[in-house]
Structure 1
Amino acid sequence: MSSEHGFTCTCCNSHHSDVPMNFSSPAPAHWDESLAEDPDSLLSSDQCVIKGEHFFVRGLVEIPVIGSDEVFSWGVWVSLSATNFARAAEVWDTPGRENEPPYFGWFSTELPIYRPTTINLKTRLHTRPVGERPWIDLEPTDHPLAVEQRTGITMDRVREIAAAVLDSAG
């Protein structure tokens, strides 16, 4: 969290001294709580399988904050092919996994502050050393999230995101 000037939350109308520098989704958009009882489905903090047919990994979309050394991040899910998911799972706890080539994936988290939808944006999932969440590189399109990832955002934009996300959660 950053303490640079804080922000006023539209949800509670209070001034907060810290600006959240990340937000995360606990599950892919396709997950439904009823799947928790399905023996062919799994949801962990990093991986998800739905009915043994759809495979997801959680990673970070990192956005540089202009004029600072800080990074704002979205913890989101991407779908992988069965082959790529199996390979990612195979090397999940293997030192050197960061040398794996990136895996193609489809963005599988709805970030409602962006229009058009973020669902199904093309991505590349890059593994990092064991213990570090993978990073997600969006295809360089004109989608607002892809533009922000390429060009960075201001701290004012971080405050705007925080207010919008916290307001929608309240």
Structure 2
Amino acid sequence: MTQELIKCPCCDKMVPANDMELSYRMPDAIACMNQEDIDEQCKYTNDYVVCNDEYFYIRCIISLPVKDSGRDYAIGAWAQVSSNSFNRIWELWDESDQSNEPRMGGLLANNIHLNTNSEDSEVEVQLTGATSRPLISIKDPECSLYKEQQCGITIHRASEYSDLCR
């Protein structure tokens, strides 16, 4: 049996469809800007965005346990953090023991499809290591992702998220 391959929107490589996870390329507030304004107002990489030296975003992962599978489903999303938190993250960026740093408060910077009240939900960001993205913990019980992160999701729900990538 051959496995379905799809083109990854981030790297343009063909990847197995089952390996595809939902990911947002930019914070929503930046994604709605035209490229000229982004280039003029923002400093950015695939890992961070600083807009007008006022808004600071870090690319993270929202990890959702998949029931009865022993694995997690990862949604790539952005957190808006304070300038102090951003500067601390920047200081620790290449440090292997950055996971010892206390969690930092922030706001979810994406409207996660298939969910309610996600954008601007209160979150905590946990640094994980020099070669891995920070983790987002949803703190706002009004955000439907809060329950999914606490209780887990079904494999069907994981598939619904992945279908948004296709």
CA distance in 2, matches of 1:142, 1:151: 15
% same residue: 23
Counterpart of 1:73, as a letter, is: A
CA distance in 1, matches of 2:116, 2:94: 36
Distance 1:79 1:127, change over 3 A: same
Find out whether 1:113 has 2:118 as its counterpart: no
Counterpart of 2:98, as a letter, is: R
Whether the aligned pair in 1 keeps the contact of 2:123 and 2:136 (CA below 8 Å) is: yes
CA distance in 1, matches of 2:160, 2:76: 18
**Match of 1:29?**
28
Please report the RMSD computed on the Cα atoms of aligned residues, expressed in angstroms: 1.9
Question: How far 1:140 sits from its partner (Å)?
Answer: 5.1
Question: How far 1:20 sits from its partner (Å)?
Answer: 4.1
**Match of 1:14?**
none
**Match of 1:89?**
90
Which ranges in structure 1 are unaligned for 5 or more consecutive residues? 7-16
**Match of 2:12?**
none
CA distance in 2, matches of 1:46, 1:100: 18
- 1:113-160 Cα offsets, whole Å, 9 max, x none, are 2123x1110000000111111101110514211100100011111122
- 1:96-119 Cα offsets, whole Å, 9 max, x none, are 111111110000011132123x11
The TM-score normalised by the length of structure 1 is 0.81
Counterpart of 1:55, as a letter, is: F
Which ranges in structure 2 are unaligned for 5 or more consecutive residues? 5-15
Find out whether 1:44 has 2:49 as its counterpart: no
**Match of 2:80?**
79
Q: How many residues align?
A: 150
Counterpart of 2:18, as a letter, is: V
Moved more, 99-108 or 138-147: 138-147
CA distance in 2, matches of 1:37, 1:63: 33
- 1:68-102 Cα offsets, whole Å, 9 max, x none, are 11211111001010111111111111221111111
